[in-house]
Amino acid sequence: MFRAKPLLPLPSCHAAARRPTLAPRMPDFRAFCNPATREPAEIVLSSDESHHLIAVNRARVGDTVVAFDGRGTEWICELVADKKSAATLKVRFAQKSRPLPYEITLGQALPKGGFMDAIVRKATEIGTARIVPLESERTQVHLDGERSDKKIEKWQVAALEAAKQCGNPWLPEITPVQTATAFMESARGHDLKLIASLQPGAKSLKTVLAAFQSAHGRAPKKVLWLIGPEGDFTPAEMSLSQSCGFEPITLGPLVLRCETAAVYALSVLSYELQNG
Q: For 214-274, give the DSSP string.
A: HHHSS--SEEEEEE--TT---HHHHHHHHHTTPEEE---SSPPPHHHHHHHHHHHHHHHHH
Q: Are residues 68 and 196 in the same domain?
A: no
Taking alpha carbons only, the member of 114, 133, 128 closest to residue 171 is 128
Instruction: Give the domain extent around 111.
Output: 103-274
Give the chain's domain count: 2
Residue that finishes a domain, picked among 96, 113, 143: 96
State how far the Cα of 109 lies from the Cα of 136, in Å rounded to an integer.
Answer: 6
Q: Are residues 270 and 141 in the same domain?
A: yes
The pLDDT confidence band at residue 242, using thresholds 50, 70 and 90, is very high
Q: What is the pLDDT of residue 10?
A: 45
Average pLDDT, integer, range 69-94: 96
Q: What is the pLDDT of residue 112?
A: 86
Q: Are residues 87 and 155 in the same domain?
A: no
Whole-prediction pTM value? 0.86
Is position 132 within any domain?
yes
Given a cut of 80, whether residue 184 has pLDDT beyond it is yes
Residue that finishes a domain, picked among 78, 96, 114: 96
Q: Are residues 228 and 269 in the same domain?
A: yes
State how far the Cα of 251 lies from the Cα of 208, in Å rounded to an integer.
Answer: 13
Percent of the chain whose pLDDT exceeds 70: 89
DSSP 8-state symbol, 189: S
